[in-house]
Chains A and B, each alone.
Chain A
Amino acid sequence: MKKLLYILISLVILAGCEPKISELTPFRGSADFSRYIAVGNSITAGFTDGALYTTGQANSFPNLLAGQFRLAGGGNFIQPVVTSEFGVDFPGSDPRLILGYVTDCRGVTSLGPIPDIGPKEPLGPVGYLVNNLGIPGAKTFHLLVPGYALLNPYYARFATAPTNMLIQEIPLQNATFFSLCIGNNDLLMYAINGGAADSITPEPVFNLSLDAIVAACVGTGTKGVIANIPDITSIPFFTTVPYNGMVLPRQTLVDSVNAAMQLYGLPFTYVLGPNPFLVPDPASPHPLFKVRPMAAGELVLLTVPQDSIKCFGMGLISAITFLPWPIPDKYVLTQNEITAIQTATTAFNQKISDMAALNGLALVDMHTKMQGLQAGIIWDGIRMNTRYVTGGVFSLDGIHLNPRGNAVLANYFIESINAEFGSTIPYVDITKYPGVIFP
């Protein structure tokens, strides 16, 4: 009886005892994360919402990666810290975007990106060696340009000498591990100008540049990870405004548009509801109006002036001149331009794969990951895709990732690193990182 009571009492007390599960054991595998550097462009720098600002930079994917590396022997990771939440100040620098209420020309108020104006970080060298060598705006060959710091204020912030090529900065850290995420801007700068300005980096230039950059990173055998280039035409900057966004809400309007087109000798028929926008077409046989309707698959840029479309007839017939008014070429990616981008992407990615294989680098297949994201992914109950704002991973500039997107990206890197080097770096808890902040 007494014994039994003892057992009962002890069992009750045991209720305070937690069930034990063995914890994760982070292991560095064959890699050495003690001195990690990140080489790349705006994505590496932590650029987001159209600016490089404090919290965006703190959530850069290399900074998140470094945090995970620290669980397996990683060391300090120093970024060229921006102390302003409004961006870096230089002539022509864009403001940071936040989600706010926008009233359009029709008086309709809806959620949209608005500039968040405040005191920006004054330009000037940070004066210390950094691990994050990401330069917003940098193309592959820019990293080989002497004096690039004079052209790019973001690089000027951390270049140890204004004349240094970026690849001369790489050996200074004596890194044991690197990440390289470069090449997006070789296509993007062309794409965000609608193919009307800038150009796609020629393949030989890309190849030679990548050879030099990888050589600088690898040095005498430094291990690292390299990411390939996603299909940039699948990001919200290009997919948010539909090609057939010209909505005709009334039949009377449809009839007058059709009558006008007939009058101008343009063989385009309009229907009730959505219709393709008009875009310039230099090859048009028409003597006056070199226009055509957009084809399915062609893309309108996020920066297209929405009010001109909604209230002044851009993409259809001008409300002022009553003449056909195409969306300017710089806001549109035509099928030919898209094909050129995708062809170059394939070629660049082939080169990146070759370099990864040749140097024993882990390869992050961002091209495939982005396709997955386009279809939609779900982690820890959070549904994400590539849609603007609601997709949850892209920032308000429609190009760069928000904190949660960066956390997902960091996990893609960890996945590849673990697979290549036999390491067991734990993943970032993506639920700790917010998506787009709503008012």
Chain B
Amino acid sequence: MRRFTILLLGCCLAATTAFSGGYQVSLHGMRNIGMGLIGTSLAYDASSLFYNPGASAFVSSKFSFSGGVSLLMARTTFQPSNVMNQYHIEKIINTPLYFYAAYKPLKDLSIGVALNTPYGNKISWGDTWQGRFLIQDLAFKAITIQPTVSYKIKNIIGIGAGFVIATGNVELHKALPLEGQAVAEGKTTITGNATNFGFNAGILVTPLKGFNIGIDYRSRIDMKVKGGTATFDVPASLDPNFPDNKVDASLPLPANLDFGISYEIKEKFLIGLNLCYVFWEAYDSLIFTFETKTATLDRTASPTLYENRLIARLGAQYRINDIVTVRLGGYYDPSPAKDDYLNPQTPSSNQIGLTAGLSVFPFKGFSIDAAFLYVMGFEREGTYSPDNFAGTYKTAVYIPGIGLTYNF
């Protein structure tokens, strides 16, 4: 009980923490989450289909299934630069999930399918806050399905590739600075769907027993919304200027190049390092093009000018006995947003993640996997200069998750 209290105090007094790094969600396997989200050089179960298709041929069992869900709870505090007020986003609940199924028809060949939610963003500032003309609420979620083939040569090198089908939807609300008698303040809602394709390819090399090197590349996928819906609620006299509308937009899901290295000692202790290069430059600006144009409604472009970033991840796993395996890890994820383009749509800051995980094997091949990820970012002051909106953001994220793995 004493530990409990100390931890509680620790959180509330911590002065320098915050969250978020773009809109990539890296929760793809409960075991991986437990050890700092590493995975590129691992070949334990079907989660390799996502982390590195080159590794899945190394999974020893004929069948491997893995699935799980995380509960993402984030809290954000915002302090405007010059205004005496603070805003708290109460709680955002998101449930990123994954499911993998792999089958080995041959000793060296694996086929499988992966389902994930690798990208998403959900934020809800409400309709009275100071930044409501930039964003009130935003929900964006993409699901990917990836049929995959993997082949290994002489237990030394494995190659694999998957075809990625991404489908997603977005819903966005923001206020418009148009005041009226009946409509106190204007607002707009934009919704849309998009589907597009990409690929995921990787190589795993094991020069020594227990020593793995993996490289994986997941391509950029442009989520192009065609004919999304835009509705406007404005004072009646302005209705002709803001007709309900079709809207086109495009949000890129950035490419990732991951490099991983790991070493396992006597199938008991494993340590691994991942370097993930995220090609965030793909996200240059968010553009909405309206089909029915008026003098006041044409094309809106919000520059984002994201920059490429390298994420460093470190993780370890220790097999206590045949029943219990524990994991620990951590990572550093630098924000892709510049200080003068820090947007409340994605209040991004450099973040540190600390993870812990546990697997319990009631019987051989089957495990219940649990993980906890605590993301603490750094308090960050910035301005979204295109809209001259300045302030300090701080977010903390708590992500417990549970999954099942069955290899047989």
Q: Footprint of B on A, CB under 8 Å?
A: 1, 3-4, 6-24, 26, 68, 71, 99, 101, 111, 377-383, 392, 411, 426-429, 431, 434-439
Contact = CB atoms under 8 A, between A and B. Distances in A.
Q: Identify the 5 closest CB pairs spanning chains A and B, nearest first.
A: A381-B133, A438-B235, A434-B179, A427-B82, A15-B398
Nearest to B384: A381
A437 B236 CA distance: 11
A378 B389 CA distance: 9
Contacts of B106: none
Interface of B: 3-4, 7-8, 11-15, 17-19, 73, 75-80, 82-86, 88, 91, 130-134, 177-181, 185, 234-238, 324, 326, 356, 358, 370, 372, 374, 379, 386-389, 392, 394-396, 398, 400
Contacts, number: 145
Contacts of A13: 8
A391 to B, nearest CB: 12
Contact of B8 (A10, A22, A26, A381): A10
B237 A101 contact: yes
Contacts of B133: 380-382, 431
A365 B95 CA distance: 53
Contacts of B178: 435, 438
A19 B130 contact: no
A190 B389 CA distance: 39
A390 to B, nearest CB: 9
Given A392-B177, A436-B179, A15 B91 contact: yes
A14 B179 contact: no
A382 B175 CA distance: 10
Contacts of B130: 380, 429, 431
Contacts of A19: 17-19, 75-77, 379, 394-396
Contacts of B86: 21, 23
A371 to B, nearest CB: 17
A182 to B, nearest CB: 27
A11 B77 contact: no
A377 B15 CA distance: 35
Given A19-B17, A20-B15, A21-B86, A437 B181 contact: yes
Contacts of B388: 377-381
A20 B3 contact: no
A77 B131 CA distance: 29
Contacts of B235: 437-439
Contact of A18 (B15, B75, B234, B326): B75
Contact of A21 (B84, B387, B394): B394
Nearest to A414: B82
Contacts of A431: 130, 132-133, 177
A429 B389 CA distance: 11
A437 B326 contact: no
Contacts of A18: 75, 77, 88
Contacts of A382: 133, 177
A18 B75 CA distance: 6
A25 B237 CA distance: 43
A14 B370 CA distance: 18
A437 B18 CA distance: 39
Given A381-B133, A426-B83, 4 more contacts: A6-B4, A10-B7, A12-B400, A21-B379
Contact of A437 (B12, B80, B180): B180
Contacts of B387: 378, 380-381
Nearest to B370: A8
A111 B18 CA distance: 48
A380 B131 contact: yes
24 contacts: A14-B8, A15-B398, A18-B88, A19-B19, A19-B77, A19-B379, A20-B13, A68-B84, A111-B237, A378-B386, A379-B389, A381-B131, A381-B389, A411-B82, A426-B82, A429-B80, A429-B83, A429-B130, A431-B133, A434-B185, A438-B178, A438-B179, A438-B181, A439-B181
